[in-house]
Amino acid sequence: MLSITTDYANVDRGDPSPYLRRIADAGFTHIHWCHHWNSDFIYSRWEIAQIEKWLAEYGLQLLDLHAPVGPEKNWASDKEYERLAGVEIVCNRLEMTARLGGDAIIMHLPAIAGWEPLRRSLDELEPVARSYGVRIALENGALPVIAEWLAEYPPDYLGLCYDSGHGNLAPDGLTQLERLKDRLISIHLHDNDGTGDQHNLIFTGTVDWPRLAEILAGSAYRKPISSESNMARSGISDEATFLARAFAAGTRLAAMVAEAHV
């Protein structure tokens, strides 16, 4: 079983069905829903119902979903109306994820001056997340900061999403992941050369994949390998070719993780 992001072609607006169909045709079984991840878009029940139909039609399952922080509906804003709007959009994504069969939404921690608004939002969201059976995963930027938040909330509510591209931009990204591996509930896997967040195919950059495979094998994460690579800097213009290479890379990494389990 393998997963890939729905915006692999660098498109996260409009009708997603052609991309879902191509993902399924390439052999993937799961998707990471990344459409509208950086917008204030609210999904209606009609749109969620249509996505549910497409997933059933193409034989795909939702692994998890990338929820937005802003640009205006921001769960950590010190403007109360923006914070409440941010909580509302997170609730929308929690409901959507539950409806589509996923178990986690991924959130970024915004760059802010104070953390009290975010604390209020996390407190307000906890009963909502529990009611849907969906956890919130904080995506790594500054892992030491995330560690502080994970210490304040239980693992059946709040966990970690490890983005290998982000981690490769820090000198100790994998060392930090090792310390938090028991809280790992989501993964965004892609590669880069260490100079920028390039979202390249797995095994095409400088990420230490053997070490990451060992950490994944010993972590709390037990779901499919999930690629967040996209075509933008891949040099591949044909979607089918890109997806085939992404599938092959994911299959290779899954085998490495399985071997490390032994």
Query: In the chain, what are the domains?
Result: 2-261 (3.20.20.150)
Statement: residue 112 has pLDDT above 80: no
Mean pLDDT along residues 100-123: 90
**Phi then psi dihedrals of residue 236, to 5 deg:** -110, 120
* Nearest Cα to Cα of residue 40 among 64, 66, 71: 71
pLDDT (0 to 100) of residue 143: 82
* Nearest Cα to Cα of residue 60 among 2, 135, 7, 137: 2
pLDDT tens figures, 172-184: 999 999 999 999 9
Average pLDDT over the chain, rounded to an integer: 96
* Nearest Cα to Cα of residue 17 among 42, 47, 54, 56: 54
Statement: residue 113 has pLDDT above 60: no
State the Cα–Cα distance between residues 231 and 144, nearest whole angstrom. Answer: 31
* Burial (CB count within 10 angstroms: exposed 0-12, middle 13-18, buried 19+), residue 33: buried
To which H or E segment does residue 262 belong? none
Tokens of 37: 């991840």
Tokens of 35: 């459409």
Tally the C-alpha atoms within 13 A of residue 73's C-alpha that lie toward its C-beta.
20
pLDDT (0 to 100) of residue 262: 61
pLDDT tens figures, 224-250: 999 999 999 899 999 999 999 999 999
State the Cα–Cα distance between residues 168 and 176, nearest whole angstrom. Answer: 11
Question: Which alpha helices (H) appear in the chain, and where do they start and end?
Answer: 17-25, 45-58, 80-100, 116-132, 143-152, 164-167, 173-180, 209-217, 239-261
